[in-house]
């Protein structure tokens, strides 16, 4: 059982990170363009992506919800503690990744 919980927690971190990266995709591409010195394109791209930022955030949250339900069914866990732990780890890593991407974007621009 302990081995299953370790795998489960590792997948929680991976799923939360993936969701955070998907939600922050607009920030990643803008920041990369600024970092490589493509400032005119980054400015244009940044103005264009501001409109879609909420959609990327929703897509990241939807992805996390989908992977959460899929992993609960896959591992067949039904205890309240395991489900809450999995959700907390996913939300924590999502928040950390998304926040770091936004901080990086602020520092680069």
For the stretch 81-93, pLDDT in tens is: 778 888 888 888 8
- φ, ψ of residue 25 to 5 degrees: the values are -60, -35
Question: Within the chain, which residues score under 50 in pLDDT?
Answer: 1
Q: pTM of this prediction?
A: 0.72
DSSP string of 76-104?
Answer: T---HHHHHHHHHHHHHHHHHHHHHHHHH
Q: In whole angstroms, what is the distance from residue 42 CA to residue 45 CA?
A: 5
Q: So what's the pLDDT on residue 1?
A: 47
Cα–Cα distances in Å, from 76 out to 27, 68, 81?
Answer: 36, 12, 13
**Spacing of C-alpha 4 from chain mean position:** 23
Q: So what's the pLDDT on residue 3?
A: 56
Q: So what's the pLDDT on residue 109?
A: 63
């Amino acid at each position: 059982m302990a081995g299953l919980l370790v795998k489960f927690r590792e997948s929680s971190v991976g799923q939360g990170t993936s969701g955070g990266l998907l939600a922050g995709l607009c920030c990643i591409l803008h920041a990369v363009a600024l970092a490589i010195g493509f400032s005119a394109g980054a400015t244009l791209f940044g103005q264009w992506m501001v409109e879609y930022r909420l959609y990327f955030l929703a897509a990241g949250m939807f992805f996390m919800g989908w992977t959460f339900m899929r992993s609960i069914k896959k591992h067949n866990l039904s205890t309240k503690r395991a489900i809450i732990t999995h959700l907390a780890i996913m939300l924590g890593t999502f928040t950390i990744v998304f926040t770091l991407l936004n901080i990086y974007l602020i520092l680069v621009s």
